[in-house]
Structure 1
């Protein structure tokens, strides 16, 4: 239902594995991995202003409150962005239900089995205390930022980014930048239905996000981020 079947045929999986091991950092970019009709419903939900809350991280602490944030030097701030808030009750509209179902799918057996095949390691939530908090939607405005950082942690095998920006054009900003190797950073544009999978422990996987070009209040860069562990 969620996956574009043409993107997960055996020949495609072989190509993903080859791209993964030959790149620095180990990563693969897959365009059109998900069914566009279903993804359109998800993208529409993200336009609802009331479901977003600002999230702030420093290099020394995650989920920093406003008081501590004001005392944190700019050089120690690495994330300021909005986090999508899951409805506390069962949503009445079908699109919000679809967005929640998509988050659940990304932590389900079918999708994690796909990741296991691509990365050649068993991906599982068996030892993850709160799996649901590791998969969610985010947005960035021109005032926000994701500065250079690493996503590696013990047992974390895969990081996934999925872009949900229907109208993105070159020059808008918001590119994912990997450090890469030999001072040759890799830039990946946040085009709609583009999925980036990478090994956060691989060389050159430190990354950041290029600032958005537009300062208009209603202009955002939308993405889904998901982290996965092995046993």
Structure 2
């Protein structure tokens, strides 16, 4: 949390325990087999548009009451929210997460994780589910820290990346194979307060 406060992002490997990781893989594969993923759009609900030139991923939005197979994952996210609130004084009220699938050839152009007129996304959280990822598979997360050169982060299995949603521009480079993750945001509701460093 100190590092996140200092540089606006942090990388944590081996994020889930083995049980949670296994359940995440199983649930992801199940939803793919059931055809539950939808083409991702740009913008907030009601004004969103599918723009293939900007992003090419597919998503399945998670709901705690419905997706009971992921109870242990939701418990982990609860713990993350509690840690943010205790150590960074963020007063986070909620979170929203989805499964994200990037088919070969897909990408997401440089952007911030904020909607115009809606500023309640504060911390972006990504946990990758890519078994056996190797050089040349693409799909790196490229972050653009202010005043620094861009940094490419390999989407290794069980690697978690957390970063400030309101300040850190980022993009997903073209994936050359199937790229999977659990992706979401820790939320302020309704107002946004200043980010307090330790």
The answer to whether TM tops 0.5 is yes
Which residue, out of 149, 169, 179, partners 2:111? Answer: 149
Aligned length: 182
Unaligned runs of 5+ in 2: 190-198
Compute the displacement of 1:201 (Å): 2.0
Q: 1:39 — aligned with what? A: 21
Q: Deviations over 1:74-130 (max 9, x none)?
A: 6xx42221112669x97xxxxx743x314532553x3310222353312113xxxxx
Compute the displacement of 1:196 (Å): 0.9
Q: 1:105 — aligned with what? A: 75
- After superposition, the Cα gap between the structure-2 partners of 1:34 and 1:107, relative to the gap in structure 1 and judged at 3 Å, is closer
Q: Deviations over 1:32-58 (max 9, x none)?
A: 122123212221222232243232324
Aligned partners of 1:190, 1:84: CA distance in 2, in Å? 19
**Which structure has the highest helix share of the two?**
1
Q: 1:212 — aligned with what? A: 175
Contact 1:81–1:145 under 8 Å retained in 2: yes
Contact 1:52–1:82 under 8 Å retained in 2: no
Compute the displacement of 1:31 (Å): 0.9
- After superposition, the Cα gap between the structure-2 partners of 1:118 and 1:174, relative to the gap in structure 1 and judged at 3 Å, is farther
Q: The residue matched to 2:92 in structure 1 has which SS?
A: coil
- TM-score, structure 2 as length reference: 0.77
From the CA coordinates, give the structure whose radius of gyration is larger. 1
Aligned partners of 1:222, 1:81: CA distance in 2, in Å? 10
Compute the displacement of 1:212 (Å): 1.2
- After superposition, the Cα gap between the structure-2 partners of 1:86 and 1:177, relative to the gap in structure 1 and judged at 3 Å, is closer
- After superposition, the Cα gap between the structure-2 partners of 1:101 and 1:171, relative to the gap in structure 1 and judged at 3 Å, is same
Is 1:164 equivalent to 2:129 in the alignment? yes
Contact 2:20–2:73 under 8 Å retained in 1: no
CA RMSD in angstroms, aligned pairs only: 2.8
Aligned partners of 2:18, 2:102: CA distance in 1, in Å? 22
